[in-house]
Amino acid sequence: MSFDYSGKTVFVAGGTSGINLGVAKAFAKAGARVSVLSRRQEKVNATVAALKALGAEANGYAADVRDYAAVEAALQAAHGQFGAFDVLVSGAAGNFPAKATGMSANAFKSVVDIDLLGTYHVLRAAHPLMKKPGGSIINISAPQAFLPMNMQMHVCSAKAGVDMVTRVGALEWGSEGLRVNSVVPGPIEGTEGMERLAPTEGARKAVIDSVPMKRYGQASEIADCCLWLGSDMAAYVTGAVIPVDGGWALGGATSLGQGFEQLAGG
């Protein structure tokens, strides 16, 4: 199935690497005008160039999602250039494996501030700039949102909150014709997230064994779900938390989480 986003405006927060870059590129290939935001100017510049090379109108902003004023300024600038957002994807996140007692209070706070507060910042600032009715907001969540995992107390807490932002946003904004959903990626090939959680060949093999479909996913497979959620094909879908994970969230992710400590070493 192919989607036509010609004339549509898409904003991807955290869209300059990994899964979210794959999502930004998919919307660009489908014809959308695409804006991205992340902290590092060089990643923003490279992404804007890559999106333009795909034939899209594109722009980007260097901002930290923990800084509300900077997020708001970026979203307003993108809105000023490309108009109301048909689709907003919020996917900026941070992760590292650490025991609850092996990280400082500031380490825990850093992840919660990026993932949860950052998601709220992006949605709060984007809300007045979304197309209404018809806009679609997509939060990039993680299996940690509903599966407790060893060495992931910070991420589990933050992503559980992200899915509640999704659900409450869907409740409060449904009558405006604005939809809010979460996409929950499984382990995705070649990403920073999996490099951090499964850094060795042994760890990678254990991840694959723990996925019912016995393989890593591709960023393009997450992007396909986002293309659908952003389209009229999903016009009655809101408040949903949708795993795209080869069945990992059925339990394999949790069993793997119990072994992160050993896996990180071998």
Binding site for ligand NAP (CB under 6 A): 14, 16-20, 38-40, 43, 64-66, 91-94, 114, 140, 142, 185, 187-188, 191-194
Report how far residue 50's alpha carbon sits from residue 190's, in angstroms, rounded to the nearest whole number.
18
Binding residue for ligand COA (CB under 6 A) from 104, 175, 201, 236?
104
Binding residue for ligand COA (CB under 6 A) from 193, 199, 212, 259?
193
- 157 close to 215: Cβ distance less than 8 angstroms: no
Name which of ligand COA, ligand NAP, none residue 224 binds, using a CB cut-off of 5 to 8 Å depending on partner kind.
none
> 35: burial class by Cβ within 10 Å (0-12, 13-18, 19+)?
buried
Name which of ligand NAP, ligand COA, none residue 104 binds, using a CB cut-off of 5 to 8 Å depending on partner kind.
ligand COA
Give the shortest CB-142-to-ligand NAP separation in angstroms: 4
Indicate the residue among 7 and 251 with the shorter CB distance to ligand NAP. 251
Indicate the residue among 83 and 199 with the shorter CB distance to ligand COA. 199
Give the shortest CB-43-to-ligand COA separation in angstroms: 11
Name which of ligand NAP, ligand COA, none residue 56 binds, using a CB cut-off of 5 to 8 Å depending on partner kind.
none
Strand segments, DSSP code E, in the chain are 9-13, 33-38, 58-62, 87-90, 136-140, 179-185, 241-244
Name which of ligand COA, ligand NAP, none residue 65 binds, using a CB cut-off of 5 to 8 Å depending on partner kind.
ligand NAP
Name 249's Cβ contacts closer than 8 Å, sequence gap at least 6: 143, 146, 147, 184, 186, 243
Indicate the residue among 129 and 138 with the shorter CB distance to ligand NAP. 138
Instruction: Measure CA 14 to chain center.
Output: 7
Strand segments, DSSP code E, in 81-160 are 87-90, 136-140
Q: In what order do the strands lie in the sheet with 87-90?
A: 58-62, 33-38, 9-13, 87-90, 136-140, 179-185, 241-244
Q: For 190, left (φ over 0), alpha (ψ -120 to 50), or beta?
A: left
For residue 94, state whether it binds ligand COA (rule: CB under 6 A).
yes
Indicate the residue among 38 and 166 with the shorter CB distance to ligand NAP. 38
The residues that touch ligand COA, with contacts defined as CB under 6 A, are: 93-96, 98, 103-104, 106-107, 110-111, 192-193, 196
